[in-house]
Amino acid sequence: MTSALVVGHFNVLHPGHIRLFKFARNLESKLVVAVESDQLAGAAAHIPEQLRLESVKSCSLVDEAFIFNEPVPVLIDRLRPAIVVKGREFETRFNPEAAVIEGYGGRLLFSSGEMQFSSVDLIRQEVARQTHIPIELPTRYMERHGISVERLYALVESLSKLRVLTVGDLIVDDYIACEP
């Protein structure tokens, strides 16, 4: 069985990826997708590798998907797919895997998809679109439990008079839409 190979980060699967997968799947009887590891992708990996892999595997066009952590030409030389498919945006760039593919008789093709944008652009747009809702007191909860606003403010004010010793670790989590 011959295969087509698509390689990428795949931070967020979008219509451009689906078109790329369809194009590749129509060329060969099997579509294999290689997802770059967090280590290999570096700063380009905005979503953890296991989540990126999970989303690629959920696409019915994909027959096999896995995480790889080696240079793309080495991966391609090891797998030797009949066809390697890249997005049209790579057609005019240097493609280091081209020599390896040509060396074993494979073909390097570029997708004919018309839509061109990146997952990172989508993430940035979504974050920019978020509205920051001010924090409001949970008045219904407070009413149900007999808590008055005055009492709540008094309790918070009294915290400044406490002396507290904390023993243990401090953890600052990473968030997408705000600073820790």
Identify the pLDDT of residue 6.
96
**pTM higher than 0.85:** no
What are the sequence ranges of the domains in the chain? 3-124
Identify the pLDDT of residue 98.
95
Q: Which CATH architecture has domain 3-124?
A: 3-Layer(aba) Sandwich (3.40)
**Number of residues written out for the chain:** 180
Rounded-to-integer distance, Cα 106 and Cα 84, Å? 8
How far from the centroid of its chain's Cα atoms is residue 58's Cα?
A: 14
Rounded-to-integer distance, Cα 152 and Cα 173, Å? 27
The one-digit pLDDT tens for each residue of the chain (180 residues) are: 589 999 999 988 888 889 999 999 999 999 999 999 999 988 888 889 999 999 999 999 999 999 999 999 999 999 999 999 998 888 889 999 999 999 999 999 998 655 555 666 666 666 666 666 666 777 888 888 888 888 888 888 898 888 888 777 666 665 555 554
Identify the pLDDT of residue 116.
56
- Closest to 83 in 3D by CA, of 63, 64, 102: 102
Identify the pLDDT of residue 160.
86
C-beta of residue 75 within 8 angstroms of C-beta of residue 7: yes
Rounded-to-integer distance, Cα 180 and Cα 169, Å? 16
DSSP 29-85: SEEEEEEEPHHHHGGG--S-HHHHHHHHHTSTT-SEEEEE-S-HHHHHHHH--SEEE
Identify the pLDDT of residue 95.
94
SS3 of residue 176 by DSSP? coil
Identify the pLDDT of residue 118.
63
